[in-house]
Amino acid sequence: MGIAEQNMMLVSAGMASSGKVPFASTFAIFTERAFEQVRNGIARAELTVHICGSHGGIHTGTDGSSAQSIEDLAIYRTIPGMTVLHPCDDLSAEELTVQLLDHVGPTYMRTARNKTLRIYDHDSVGDLSIGRGSVIRRGTDVCIIACGVMVSQALIAANDLADDGIHAAVVDMHTLKPLDKNLIDSMFASCGCFVTAEDHSVIGGLGGAVAEHLSTGITAPLEMVGVSDIFGQSGASSELMSSMGLTSEEIKHSAIKAISRKSG
């Protein structure tokens, strides 16, 4: 629909109210321009519209800070009844998108601009389900919960930690809302501490979601790897991710710190 994101959301709302299942796609940062239409035209009316925000996060790189949405997941988590997704590779994005065809209610899925490492294969991806996190590595010392492009970094960190005798579990939390609280509880029982990793602000995103759950009754150390309270810059994706600490090395250091904070 061109540069008319507000119109796109309301056209999608009209289609949904007529029995169709619309998928509305634009850059993640441009969906924010249409927040009022998403909130009032789609979510308040409890319509099934699936929004895809591409080019999310610092990983967008050379598009610059004005095009790097580092707050979109937090924004859409606040909307009542909205499901929020952030898959980690092409196969999981495809699988979860297909599942959205039968999903009732508004959703927001964020995807990356650049190529990402493939985490799943054609067999394992079929086990994914909206609302259920995926344990892609077992461990007993610390649980790294990641989403999007940071899942691959979490796996690299887990391999590096293993070289030091530390056994880290890795969870792909592709659904940020509803959060898989049962899985978090289970991982607490086996690991006792957490690290979250996301290409997004640490305020209100995956780290915030996990912290909210832990605050309801689980006393567990939590370290958050993500974008601090700053805007991005323009540069190569790898350079920006490194300068902002969105790396496997930062996850490794955070894991060691979380383990050191465990009681007993």
Residue in 40, 238, 43, 260 with CA at minimum distance from that of residue 152: 238
Residue 5 annotated to the active site = yes
Given 5, 71, 95, 223, the catalytic residue: 5
- DSSP, collapsed to helix, strand or coil, labels residue 198 as strand
**Backbone φ and ψ of 172, nearest 5°:** -90, 100
Residue in 173, 242, 241, 240 with CA at minimum distance from that of residue 213: 173
Tell me the CA distances in angstroms from 243 to 108, 235, 236, 238, 247, one per residue in order: 28, 10, 11, 9, 9
Pairing type for strands 175-177 and 83-85 reads antiparallel
Q: What DSSP letter does each residue of 52-119 carry, written as one string?
A: EEESBSGGGGGG-GGG-BSSHHHHHHTSTT-EEE--SSHHHHHHHHHHHTT--S-EEEE--SS-----
Tell me the CA distances in angstroms from 3 to 6, 8, 29, 30, 225, one per residue in order: 9, 9, 12, 9, 34
Pairing type for strands 50-54 and 23-27 reads parallel
Q: In what order do the strands lie in the sheet with 222-227?
A: 134-137, 168-172, 142-146, 194-201, 222-227
With tokens 């796109």, the residue in question is: 8
Taking residue 25's Cβ as centre, other Cβ atoms within 10 Å add up to: 14
Active site residues: 5
